[in-house]
Amino acid sequence: MKEADMATIEDGEKWAAMQADWQAVNQESHTARFRVMQAFIKSAAGEGSGPTTGQLELAEKLEQAADEKRRAMDEFVKKVFGVEALS
C-alpha cells in the first residue's frame, strides 16, 4: 500500500466524529422507541391511550437519521480505509 493510499490522522478523526454523532442519534432513537413501547404497554393494561402521533413520528425520524448516519460511516470506511464495514 502506497503512503498516498493510507488513511490519515484527519480521516481517523473524521470517522471518530461521525461515529460519535451516529451513536448519539442512535441512542436517541432507542429512547424514543422505548417510550413508544411503554405507551403501548400502558394502553394494553388500560392505563393510557397509547403513543401519540408525535411520539411515533419522532421515533421513526430518529431511526431513519441513525440509519443514514450509519450508511454514511460505512461508505466513509469503504472509501478511506478500503475495507467493507461490519454492519
Q: What is the pLDDT of residue 83?
A: 74
* pTM: predicted TM-score of the whole model, two decimal places: 0.82
Q: Which residue has the cell 460511516?
A: 73
Place 5 in a pLDDT band, splitting at 50, 70 and 90. Answer: low
pLDDT score, position 53: 98
Q: How confident is the model at residue 82 (pLDDT cuts 50, 70, 90)?
A: confident
The three cell numbers of residue 43 are 394502553
**Burial, 32: exposed, middle or buried (Cβ in 10 Å; 0-12, 13-18, 19+)?**
buried
* 3 state DSSP class of 84: coil
On the question of pLDDT at 79 being above 60, the answer is: yes
Query: Of the given ranges (33-37, 54-58, 80-84), which has the lowest mean pLDDT?
Result: 80-84
